[in-house]
Amino acid sequence: MPGEIYSVLSTGMRYWFALLGVLIVWRSFHWLRRDRKETHRRLKRLPDAGNIGVFRVLAGGPQLAEGEELPVPREGVLGSVRTCDIALPVSEVRKRHLDFFYVDGQGLHVQPRRGCACSVDGVELTHRSGRQSPLLTHGSILQAGDALLRLYLFEGLEVPRSARLMSVELPDPPSAGELAAPQNGNVQTPNGNAAPGSLPYWAYPVPPQGGEQR
């Protein structure tokens, strides 16, 4: 093609390319924004997305009421600061007290930070405790500083095969019927005191079939 015609053609096409470029960018950001709204909507629908269970407070402090339920994410930090994934504004709890992470098929690992005292089901854990340290499973009691927490896992998560009963006397023993010992992987859930229909989904009894295995 002769040079002049090509140069005129190309000079005209530049507006087309610029337009397409802007269009592509605009659609991309539109897509991003829409996905963000979608994620927000999902999170509202599934407020417990990403969590594996709750810690119920057995003994807390002036700022942490007994019976309060703290959602437990899959992985995070426990401490007294508000930005921690589990915030315990209780005395003897450091700003960042311990790290925890949940491993499917095993349970909730707890790794205390330097100089932080905690115990799982009565067994002391320190910074140096390695992989042999005890795990938290459904019903286990975690003591961190002056706080006492009991872990309730959600339905449908893989249940550890060897769940243990706590062996230490609790200051406030749970009332009968609220807790039952886990047997052979059959987990029962406690009844809440709130009106039915407003309970979180994990408070409903397990349907007999369907199983908990993934």
Partner 1 sequence: MKASTADQTRRAGRALCSAVMLFFSTAFLLLALKDYAWQGFALAVAVPAMIWLGVSLLPHLFPADRLLLSLANFLCALGILLLYDTNPDLAYHQAMYYGVGLVAMLACIYAVRLLRQWRMAAALLIPFSLALLALPLLFGSEINGAKNWIYIGSVSFQPSEFVKLSLIVIVSRYMSRRRFFPWFIFAVGCLGLLMLQKDLGTALLYYAVTLLLYFASSGNWLLTLLGLSGGAGAAVLGYRMFAHVKKRVAIWLNPWADYDRAGYQIVQGLMAIASGGLFGVGLGLGSPTTIPIYHTDFIFAVICEQFGWIFGLCVLAMYVAIVWRGATTAMAARTGFHGLMCMGATLMLGLQTFVIIGGVLKLIPLTGVTMPFVSYGGSSLVSSMCLIGLIQGVASLNEEHLQEDARLAEYGGEIG
Partner 2 sequence: MKRQRMKFKLLALLIFSLFLLLALYGGYSVITYGNRWFSSSRNPRVRAQKENVTAGNILDRNGVLLATTNEEGERIYPADETTRKAMVHLIGDSQGQVSNSVESFQTSYLYGFQTSFPEQLAALIRGDRRRGDDLTLTVCAPLCVEAQQAFDRYEHTMGKRGACVVMNWKTGELLAEISLPEFDPMAITGAVKQDEGQPFWNRATQSVYPPGSTFKVVTALAALSSIEDAEEQWIDCTEAVLDFGGGQLISDYGGEHHGVVHLREAFIHSCNKMFATLAVNAGQENMLRAAAAFGFNDNFLFRDLVVENSSFPEKADSRYTLAASGFGQSSVTATPMHMCMIAAAVANRGVMMEPRLLRSVVSPGGTGRLSYTENIYRTVMTETLASKLKDYMRQVVAEGTGRRADVSTMYICGKTGTADSTSKGEPITYGWFIGFNAQEDVPVALCVVVEDLDEGTAGGNTAAFIARDVFAWCGRNTELIIPQ
Considering only CA atoms, which of 71, 37, 55 is closest in space to residue 147?
55
- Quote the CA–CA distance of 154 and 158 in Å, as a whole number: 9
Among 63, 66, 101, 124, which residue sits at the site for partner 1 (rule: CB under 8 A)?
Answer: 101
Among 4, 40, 45, 187, which residue sits at the site for partner 1 (rule: CB under 8 A)?
Answer: 45
Q: Does 111 bind partner 1 (CB under 8 A)?
A: yes
Among 48, 59, 71, 85, which residue sits at the site for partner 2 (rule: CB under 8 A)?
Answer: 85
Instruction: Provide the CA 186 distance to its chain's centre, in angstroms.
Output: 22
Q: Does 5 bind partner 2 (CB under 8 A)?
A: yes
- The amino acid at residue 119 is S
Question: Which among partner 1, partner 2, none contacts residue 84 (Cβ within 5 to 8 A by kind)?
Answer: partner 2
Strands 69-73 and 51-59: antiparallel
Q: Does 188 bind partner 1 (CB under 8 A)?
A: no
DSSP state of 41: H
Point out which span in 37-45, 55-63, 161-169, 175-183 binds partner 1 (CB under 8 A). 37-45
Length of the chain (residues): 214
- Quote the CA–CA distance of 82 and 92 in Å, as a whole number: 15
Q: For partner 2, which is the closer residue by CB, 103 or 165?
A: 103
Site for partner 2 in 6-35 (CB under 8 A): 7-8, 11-12, 15
Q: Within 13 Å and on the Cβ side, how many CA atoms surround 67? A: 6
Core vs surface per residue 10-28: b (16+ CB within 10 A) or e: eeeeeeeeeeeeeeeeeee
Q: For partner 2, which is the closer residue by CB, 54 or 77?
A: 77
Q: Which residues bind partner 1 (CB under 8 A)?
A: 1, 6-7, 9-11, 13-18, 20-25, 27-32, 34-36, 38-39, 42, 45-46, 48-50, 74-75, 99, 101, 111, 154-157, 200-204, 210
Q: Which residues bind partner 2 (CB under 8 A)?
A: 3-5, 7-8, 11-12, 15, 73-77, 83-85
